[in-house]
Amino acid sequence: MTLIDKFGRNHDYLRISVTDRCNLLCHYCVPNGVHDCTSWKNLMTDDEIISIVEAGAALGITKIRITGGEPLVRKGLPNLISRLNEISGIEDIALTTNGIFLKKYAQQLKNAGLKRLNISLDSLQEDKFTQITSNGRLMDVIEGIEEAIRLGLHPIKINVVLMKDYNVNEVSSFLQWTKDEKIQVRFIEYMPIGDTQTNWSKQYQSLSVVEEIASKMGEYEPKEKEKSSGPARVFSFKGAKGSFGLIHPISNDFCNSCNRLRLTADGNLKSCLFWEAEVPVKHLAFSPEKLTIAYKQALLLKPENHEMGKQIFEQGSPTKRHMSAIGG
């Protein structure tokens, strides 16, 4: 049995937000500077998550990504990952983290069966990093990355949300990093999720600037697309240890190949990051039959494309949830 939507797209990938809490306040993720968090009693329990994933796996879900908020603030996350790793049909488990607590938990995560890591890092300058995150310490993230490399958690991908007034001038530094280290830096266009179009448009920067800067830094070429590369177009400089990827949700959307569903921290299935439509599943968590119906309902709600960046929307209402509540 497969999860195929009305546009013929097969879905085998579930992104799970295990919490909407975070120890940072990145302004594009929390635009109003305050985490409006779900009460503890309304967050999914480990048992509910496992049951929902088991139902998805029976329908063809093979790949899981754990997100937040910041997933490492959830108590007992390595144990949850270990349990997810035991579900029949689940072949790959990845984690997206801000990296602050990574050094502390990296070994436990690897032991639990974590396969891959994405680390959000929008600046390599201490003062800029603190400005973007409000209260983060850059060295904590760097030490976490170094520990993950030491433990062999490859590939390690660094997610950089490109913003006009914040980090465009650091593109060359990130690119140089890929020459020196076995990492993949993924530049991501800033998305208007839970934000006003006006605020978003002030900081939006097309990724064409990355290609312009890269062309001045040496010869580079596209790499063969890997199963785990998702929507990224990946390149590597000649002789480089690492690579860099470009993710264009606005200027060159990848909706026609989208294979993902999202499970919010409060237990709702979302078929598209941008749109408001959701299917509640927390109360169905221990009914495989009803969960099967809910997965199919979520697919019926999935639009052909997200229409991010438009002023007039044709397919519905954009979500009011901030990125920290959806899980990216």
Span 277-289, pLDDT tens digits: 899 999 999 999 9
Question: Is 261 within a domain?
Answer: yes
CA dihedral sign of residues 211, 217, 218, 220 = negative
What pLDDT is attached to residue 1? Answer: 62
- Mean pLDDT, to the nearest integer, of 226-232? 72
Looking at residues 99-120, what average pLDDT do you find? 96
| CA separation, residue 133 to residues 86, 173, 307 (Å) | 35, 19, 28
**What would the mean pLDDT of 189-207 be, rounded to a whole number?**
74
Question: Which domain, by its residues, includes 79?
Answer: 13-326
Question: Which secondary-structure segment (H or E) carries 120?
Answer: strand 116-120
- Is the pTM above the cut of 0.75? yes
Please list, in sequence order, all residues whose beta carbon lies within 8 angstroms of the beta carbon of residue 22, skipping any fewer than 6 positions away. 29, 30, 35, 68, 69, 70, 73, 98, 324
Average pLDDT, integer, range 151-175: 94
pLDDT score of 40: 83
Cβ-Cβ contacts under 8 Å for 219 (sequence gap 6 or more):
237, 238
| Section 227-241 average pLDDT | 87
Which candidate, 299, 310, 307, places its Cα nearest to that of 275? 307
Task: Give the pLDDT confidence score for residue 308 in this predicted structure.
Answer: 62
28 is a domain residue? yes
Hey, what are 114's tokens?
A: 């974590």
Average pLDDT over residues 26-41: 75
Q: Is 283 within the bounds of a domain?
A: yes
More confident residue, 205 or 31: 205
Whether residue 6 is contained in a domain is answered as no
Contact by Cβ (8 Å): 100, 70:
yes
Arithmetic mean of pLDDT, 63-84: 96
- Chain centroid offset of residue 112 CA: 20
Tell me which residue of 224, 218, 146, 212 sits closest to 181, measured CA to CA.
146
CA 75 → CA 20, 109, 166, 193, 323, distances in Å?
13, 13, 33, 27, 21
Whether 70 maps to a domain, the answer reads: yes
- The helix or strand, by DSSP H or E, that contains position 17, with its residue range, turns out to be strand 13-17
Query: 159 in a domain, yes or no?
Result: yes
| Residue 228 clears pLDDT 70, i.e. is over it | no
Amino acid identity, position 65: R
The pLDDT of residue 229: 62
Token pair recorded at residue 147: 């520990």
CA dist., res. 68 & res. 120, Å (int): 12
CATH number at residue 226: 3.20.20.70
Mean pLDDT rounded to a whole number for the chain: 89
Residue 180 has pLDDT above 90, yes or no: yes
User: pLDDT tens, 305-326?
Assistant: 866 655 545 666 777 776 666 7
Euclidean distance between the first and final Cα of the chain, in Å? Answer: 27
- Per-residue pLDDT at 195 exceeds 90: no
| Residue 29, pLDDT above cutoff 50 | yes
Q: Encoding tokens for residue 169?
A: 């001038």
Quick one: pLDDT at residue 317?
A: 73
pLDDT at res. 227:
65
Higher-confidence residue: 185 or 198?
185
How confident is the model at residue 312, as a pLDDT? 47
Question: What pLDDT shows up at residue 81?
Answer: 98
Within 8 A by CB and 6+ apart from 87, the residues are: 50, 53, 54, 57
Q: Does any domain span residue 2? A: no
Beta bridge partners, 65, equal 15, 94
DSSP state of 283: G
Q: Which residue has the tokens 């306040």?
A: 25
Q: Which amino acid would we find at residue 242?
A: G
With contact defined as beta carbons under 8 Å apart, do 172 and 244 qualify? no
What single letter denotes the amino acid at residue 68? G
CA angle 228, 232, 237 (to 5 degrees): 100
pLDDT tier at 92, thresholds 50, 70, 90: very high
268 occurs within a structural domain: yes
Structural domain total, the chain: 1
Average pLDDT over residues 70-91: 97
Mean pLDDT within 152-176: 94
